[in-house]
Amino acid sequence: MNKMTVRDAAFGGKRVLVRVDFNVPLDGTTITDDTRIRAAVPTLKYILDQKPRSVILMSHLGRPKGEPNPKYSLAPVAPALAALLGQDVQFANDCVGETAETAAANLPQGGVLLLENTRYYKGEEKNDPELAGKMAKLGDIFVNDAFGTAHRAHASNVGVSSHLLAVAGLLMEKEIDYLATALEAPKRPFVAILGGAKVSDKIAVIEALLDKVDRLLIGGGMANTFLQAQGISMGKSLVEADALDTARSLLGKGGKKLVLPVDAVIGDAFQNDAHTQVIAVEGGIPDAWSMYDIGPKTVELFGKHLHGAKTVVWNGPMGVFEMSSFAKGTNLIAQLLADETRHGAITIIGGGDSAAAIENSGLTNQITHISTGGGASLEMLEGKTLPGVIALKDK
């Protein structure tokens, strides 16, 4: 990476403003998955070891639509972070203005302050210069460690960078290095796995990857559209009718590189206790049924293509993994990736639902890298440059 990182900066005695990604799932005020908080800890400890004057943390959470909403408060994150850092983390009820400035000024030497949700201000998502200037007043140097928002030009990542020396955190560096290396100089065979609901969400990714991979395995709801594009009846399965021509074009371009499911787990209702059966897709899906997961023969087929792979990138589940009746395909693919990792493959999970699926399968520690940013990793897979990265200081 040709951008400055925390290793290139001096933090001693400085007020360090850090953009983190604490957009964590909440059940009321209970954090149900602290992955993103844990991912920020190495950068924060690295900074704190250099004895800064203070560390001020900015993040968004959810979509509060530009105004304060207790449902999206970052307050529950402060004690969770304190437990992971092993030191007190104070919380400010605002991210700019007198409340934030007073809280920051009153911190003890080496103190840590978490600011309230940056998206409580409409100017955040508009990259408003005035809001960015108020944020920048809180620090002497800026560290962006929020890869999950790097694909967005917001006040708290891009705007602040125009006021302060801006460097990447360790997580940001790791995310970019893994994804960039996988795409620019992959060890081969290079296999990509794409799932999720819609082809239309990933057309650009598919087109970009077809030029780079040795095999592209397609599962999840998006496989339905490809199968129907081949003339296979899909019953009540989710199919994007307006993406059928695109799917046919991609099938023509992909040739043997593009691998589709050969069997499916189908259900007669979109619920966990639905009647299910496994059928070959070649004969079509019955009218009143839908495809909700890949079947065992597809897992076996995908396994043959994954066996011996040196680089694997996976984005999107293979079925409705949130329901145990339709999670088996996703979990078995996760296990195959863990097996290949043990045999020396570099395995990269592209955030979002794929990361949640790996977490659910209990295989997190058996994968080379799990991205914290679904949208950002997708845009990198497309070959796009990320505004939050561009804004960082060049080496």
Examine the domain organization and report whether 221 and 324 are in the same domain: yes
Examine the domain organization and report whether 226 and 370 are in the same domain: yes
Examine the domain organization and report whether 148 and 201 are in the same domain: no
Asked if the structure places residue 119 within a domain, the reply is yes
CATH of the domain at 265: 3.40.50.1260
Residue 85 structure tokens: 């850092």
pLDDT at position 197, please? 83
**Quick check: 1 pLDDT over 80?**
no
Q: Please pick, among 62, 284, 375, 383, the residue that the annotation labels catalytic.
A: 375
Q: Please pick, among 14, 15, 19, 36, the residue that the annotation labels catalytic.
A: 36
CA gap 15, 30 in Å, rounded:
30
- Across the range 259-288, mean pLDDT stands at 97
Domain boundary among 149, 171, 193: 171
Residue 393 annotated among the catalytic residues of the structure? no
Examine the domain organization and report whether 225 and 369 are in the same domain: yes
Asked if the structure places residue 68 within a domain, the reply is yes
Residue 7 annotated among the catalytic residues of the structure? no
Domain boundary among 134, 151, 171: 171
pLDDT-derived band of residue 298, with 50, 70 and 90 as boundaries?
A: very high
Examine the domain organization and report whether 93 and 163 are in the same domain: yes
Asked if the structure places residue 389 within a domain, the reply is no
pLDDT at position 19, please? 98
Q: What is the overall mean pLDDT for the chain?
A: 95
Q: Is 272 exposed, middle or buried, given 0-12, 13-18 or 19+ CB atoms closer than 10 A?
A: middle
- Across the range 288-313, mean pLDDT stands at 97
Q: Which residue has the higher pLDDT, 362 or 324?
A: 324
Q: Please pick, among 123, 139, 148, 352, the residue that the annotation labels catalytic.
A: 352
- Across the range 361-380, mean pLDDT stands at 87
Examine the domain organization and report whether 197 and 110 are in the same domain: no
Examine the domain organization and report whether 189 and 110 are in the same domain: no
- Across the range 283-304, mean pLDDT stands at 97
Q: Which strands, in side-by-side order, build the sheet including 190-194?
A: 258-259, 215-218, 190-194, 311-315, 346-349, 369-370
pTM, 2 dp: 0.88
pLDDT at position 10, please? 97
Q: Identify whether the C-beta of residue 124 lies closer than 8 Å to the C-beta of residue 93.
A: no
CA gap 68, 171 in Å, rounded:
29
pLDDT-derived band of residue 363, with 50, 70 and 90 as boundaries?
A: confident
**Quick check: 351 pLDDT over 80?**
no
Q: Which residue has the higher pLDDT, 285 or 361?
A: 285
Examine the domain organization and report whether 204 and 118 are in the same domain: no
Asked if the structure places residue 52 within a domain, the reply is yes
- Across the range 306-324, mean pLDDT stands at 95
Asked if the structure places residue 230 within a domain, the reply is yes
Examine the domain organization and report whether 120 and 159 are in the same domain: yes
Residue 220 annotated among the catalytic residues of the structure? no
Residue 256 structure tokens: 């043997």
Domain boundary among 171, 199, 217: 171
Asked if the structure places residue 75 within a domain, the reply is yes
pLDDT at position 273, please? 95
Examine the domain organization and report whether 15 and 161 are in the same domain: yes
pLDDT-derived band of residue 275, with 50, 70 and 90 as boundaries?
A: very high
Examine the domain organization and report whether 249 and 374 are in the same domain: yes
Examine the domain organization and report whether 374 and 228 are in the same domain: yes
What percent of the chain clears pLDDT 90, i.e. is strictly above it? 86
Residue 198 annotated among the catalytic residues of the structure? yes
pLDDT-derived band of residue 271, with 50, 70 and 90 as boundaries?
A: very high
Domain span holding position 156: 6-171
Q: Please pick, among 45, 126, 137, 198, the residue that the annotation labels catalytic.
A: 198
Q: What is the pLDDT of residues 127-155, one digit of tens each?
A: 999 999 999 999 999 999 999 999 999 99
pLDDT at position 384, please? 86
pLDDT at position 372, please? 86
Asked if the structure places residue 339 within a domain, the reply is yes
Q: How many domains does the chain have?
A: 2
Q: What is the pLDDT of residues 90-121, one digit of tens each?
A: 999 999 999 999 999 999 999 999 999 999 99
Q: Is 383 exposed, middle or buried, given 0-12, 13-18 or 19+ CB atoms closer than 10 A?
A: middle
Asked if the structure places residue 392 within a domain, the reply is no
